[in-house]
Each structure stands twice: as C-alpha cells, then as structure tokens.
Amino acid sequence: MNADVLVAASAAKQFRTAVKPIWCPGCGDFGVLAAIERAFAVMAMPPEQIALISGIGCSSRLPAYLTPYGFHGVHGRALPFATGLKLARPDLEVIVVGGDGDGYSIGGNHFLHACRRNTDITYIVMDNRVFGMTKGQPSPTTEPDWGSPMAPGGPDMPSFDPVAIALAAGANFIARGFSGDPNRLAEMIVEAVRWPGFALVEVLSPCVTFRPDETEWKHAIHPGAGFPFDDRSRAAAAAARDPFATGIVFRSASRPRSRRASPVASGDLAAVEKEFAV
C-alpha cells in the first residue's frame, strides 16, 4: 500500500461536511466516499480548487458530503456539465461521481462522448448493478437473469461492460476498483486524477439492500494479472475475462490528442463586428 494513503487517512476527515449521508448502513458508497477523501488528502489540494459533479441516484448524493465545490444536477447529465466546467475552467480539478443507472443508462450517450472527447476529468462510477434509489430495478450492468418486480425473470439482455466500452470509445485511463478496499481505491483515484485525459474509475460498490448477493464480492475481488495495459485490445480481453480483477486496467501511453491551439484572447470585439459594416 502507498504510504501516502496511510498518512493521509487522518487528514481526510477535513474534507467531510456535516451533511449526513442518506445511504443504507453497509452501503458500498461509504467506502468510495472514504477513498475520495483520502485521495484529496494525498493530493493536498485546497478544496476550492476541486469541483465534484453528479447527476441523480444514491451515489450522486456524494458531493454534498464533501467540502469542495460541487453540483448535483439532473439525472444522467453530470458528464456534459463537468465537461463544460472543465473547458471553461481548466484550472479546476473536475471529478464526476455517480452510479451505473445515471452513467450507463440515462447518461449512456454522454459516457461514450466523454470518452471520445477525452477532456481531462475523472469519472468515478459506483456500480452496484441496480437502481437503488427507486428500490431495485435492473440497470445496464445487471445480469440478464436477475429478476425483480419490474423485470420478472431478469432484464434478459447482456449486461453493459463499462470497461470494454470505455476502452473502445477512447478513454485515456481506466481502472476497476472495489469499495471494500478504500485505500487501494484512493490510490487509483489519485492516479486517475493525475493522468491526463478522461479517466474512468469503475468501482464495484455493493448495494446491500437490493443486491445482498453482492456482499459476496469481497471474496471474488483480486488484483488483475498483467494490469495495467497500454494496449486497448489486450486490456479489453483481460478485463472481460475476469470481471472481478481490480486495479488500473489501462493507461494510454500517449496524452490525449492535442486540441486546437488555445484561442488567442485578443478581446478585440470591434474587429469582429467590422464584417457587418456596409
């Protein structure tokens, strides 16, 4: 374990607000909250330089529990909001948090294009394979045969593989973490934030209330062999072969493709207006 994380654990509490989480006792998201605090402490960033952006769902409540700037918007739109913020304010550290329903279902299109755009933001997904806030409907990552009142017998379609899709869509950094190991997760988050481009941290975060079977994940989790890859197809094959392999799955050896040169802030509006003069 990274020594920094141990040192930081005690400093992490300063990032907590007085707002009490709405999460059920034992929810995996507590571990993710702890990991994010520790990552902030390791990075020793002033909270005002950080913005935590989220949509809707249990995990999307997280920004209220931490001291940086934040925005809790509408369901599924955290990524475009965060992208707009980062493009307008490249000086800020922009981190998006949310769940599998928010990010892969209603926000699925934004997920694809955030990977493609490769803006320098970090996206932490607390994936519990269920809609928890609405009390137990299948999400895109739910197994095809997981039955529930809204989808008796299961959703009956293959589950969505966030790591494979992020790899295919062009994300620059992809990690798979586990909420039950907040120190190791904190290390991944630190590296994700520091790595240039769009970074996905897909966190297996059990829902103890609607998916009690997921408490067994702690026995299945293990470090991924050969992680991290810098080749997309090898990373995809390894991650798909072993869905409980954790660690940094992929880091692009190259920085995101450079965007057009920074605009020249001439501020000369009068010159722009001249084209309309007859």
Residue 14 contacts another protein per CB under 8 A: no
Applying CB under 8 A, among 21, 30, 72, 243 the residue interacting with another protein is 72
| Smallest separation, CB 248 to another protein (Å) | 27
Residue 267 contacts another protein per CB under 8 A: yes
Q: Between 81 and 195, whose beta carbon lies closer to another protein?
A: 81
| Rounded-to-integer distance, Cα 42 and Cα 82, Å | 23
CB distance 118 to 256 below 8 Å: yes
Burial of 92 (0-12, 13-18, 19+ CB in 10 A): middle
| Rounded-to-integer distance, Cα 185 and Cα 80, Å | 25
- Considering only residues 103 through 132, tell me which ones interact with another protein, judged by CB under 8 A: 109-110, 112-113
Q: Between 49 and 233, whose beta carbon lies closer to another protein?
A: 49
CA distances from 188 to 6, 68, 107, 195, 260 (A): 14, 20, 23, 10, 30
Q: Between 253 and 265, whose beta carbon lies closer to another protein?
A: 265
| Smallest separation, CB 187 to another protein (Å) | 25
Residue type, 68: P
Residue 46 contacts another protein per CB under 8 A: yes
**Residue appearing with tokens 């769009």:** 198
Which among 138-146, 183-191, 238-246, 267-275 is the span making contact with another protein, rule CB under 8 A?
Answer: 267-275
